[in-house]
A and B are shown apart, each in its own frame.
Chain A
């Protein structure tokens, strides 16, 4: 270790991060750096993009080309199979998988971002750097949100890319969706994905680790909510409860755009709530989840 550099110490007085806004901005920049370089983040986002390619385009297109039908497109005409993978349908393809699969993967992402730091001891290190705990958590939410936005934008670009490719290969006239439809779908997609990411962050914070939070979160999002909705059809009080679940809100909001009719309903896409009611429930999750997670981080002892 060098011992020659200390005699000329200059006190820098690191007061920059004591301002809450500066602290939150510094925290967000730090989180962005470490998340950007974390392979697990890209694997999670990549898994979602792969699902979009498979369920949004590949299966339908292969069925169209081969004339086969599969579990995901039973009873659909060939022309409608092709229509589903052309640019005009991108606003629907973009979001139809988000209530269940996209949301589940964002939940994993949020749980990883919050939970791993407890096992690694990195929250301990971070909380001794200067920014106050609310600033640190705000920064972490901001960085997580940047990755959710990145995911939605990448999904949109991928969908248009594939749709244009198929249109070109099949010599179809390119019909663009309206800008407002595209913007609306992108916005709804972001809100649904963000809600699940924040719920994942909350779970990771509560469990102080990724394993339990990811496990419980996925079972909840993929299984329990669906079971409850099934039971809810028989029991009134359970039905009332299912209406305020995050999956119901996200599924209904997406359902209000893509519709739930047709021969091939997408898992997780619902019509339980109206679009506006779903928006209110989802908004409540978007506000309450980070507040609760932030409160927990601010209050707790970090070992």
Chain B
């Protein structure tokens, strides 16, 4: 599974490394040569629409399913090997627990599997605010409580890597906020978090780096800031053609985009005074100058649209 990979980087900054990880189900490629890198201590967002291949990739990283080709290493060990799995906590595609057991007993069972003291169950329940409902049966839990129990199970034993697949699914707004705080806190405490999500604002808010996946392919991997790109200036001025000519003089011919009755200029906010001076000097009446930042959502849809067009 790990041919050709350097597995001796346990102390290195790489926590997860996949190389051309591929999973084929019949004619369908659920994951297509996914090569991603998760570094120690970061919150890595695995972003993509439903059915993009996020869960399939995470399952391969956890050793639950075998890749058709490619390889994955976790904490310097082959993915799925006991040495790797013992240091990973995971919640993948919904929490799977014994319905007849209480939340606490479910965690006690998992603590026994992990070979850690059963008292870890109480601590984990506290951490996700389930302590008061710990003695209730799992089947009586709401969707959000089940999800929180899944997170609690993933946190037991302080694993080096916490893999959370759509962790805010089924949570109410307050629960989502708590879960995001918890994730940020894990990273602060030194744990690495690999998180999949289809919620762009979630990833934008809490992730250090992000991998964008669609149709099984990893489209790009970078920091959130890099992905969003720098800020640009939105300018409304009259006459428009003269304003565009002046802006092109500063930002280059490709640096000006017309957007309705305004233009977007690829310049930093610090360049605004210079731009305004030039425009006024050229006789342009400047009605509005604002600094705009692209949201991850805009980047994402642009990226997936480009991919769609490329495949046509």
Contacts and interface: CB of A to CB of B under 8 A. Distances in A.
Interface in B78-97: 81-83, 85-90, 92-97
Nearest to A38: B100
B82 A17 contact: yes
Nearest to B62: A128
B109 A12 contact: no
Interface stretch (A61-69, A118-126, A217-225): A118-126
B108 A33 contact: yes
Given A3-B182, A12-B158, A30 B96 contact: no
A135 B85 CA distance: 13
Contact of A9 (B63, B113, B158): B158
A16 B188 contact: no
Interface in B120-167: 123, 126-129, 148, 153, 157-160
A129 B85 contact: yes
Given A1-B178, A9-B189, A130 B113 contact: yes
Nearest to A9: B189
Given A33-B108, A125-B153, A126-B113, A303 B65 contact: yes
A53 interface: no
Nearest to B179: A1
Q: Is the interface of A mostly helix, strand, loop or mixed?
A: loop
B158 A10 contact: yes
B169 to A, nearest CB: 14
Contact of B92 (A124, A130, A131): A124
A132 interface: yes
Interface string A1-23: 11101111111111111100011
Interface residues of B, number: 55
Nearest to B181: A3
Contact of B115 (A16, A33, A126): A16
Contacts of B128: 1
A121 B188 contact: no
B113 A30 contact: yes
Nearest to B190: A9
A259 B159 CA distance: 59
Contacts of A136: 113
Contacts of B65: 301-303
Contacts of A26: 112-115
Interface in B33-80: 59, 62-66
B64 A301 contact: yes
A6 B186 contact: yes
Nearest to B180: A1
A13 B98 contact: no
Contacts of A27: 113
B199 interface: no
Interface of A: 1-3, 5-18, 22-23, 26-27, 29-30, 33-34, 37-40, 120-132, 135-136, 301-303
Q: 7 nearest interchain CB pairs?
A: A121-B96, A6-B189, A16-B115, A30-B112, A130-B86, A129-B113, A301-B65
8 contacts: A2-B126, A3-B185, A7-B188, A121-B97, A124-B64, A130-B85, A301-B65, A303-B93
Interface of B: 59, 62-66, 81-83, 85-90, 92-101, 105, 108-110, 112-116, 123, 126-129, 148, 153, 157-160, 178-179, 181-182, 185-186, 188-191
Given A128-B62, A129-B113, A130-B115, 10 more contacts: A6-B185, A8-B189, A17-B82, A120-B96, A120-B99, A122-B96, A125-B95, A125-B96, A130-B114, A136-B113
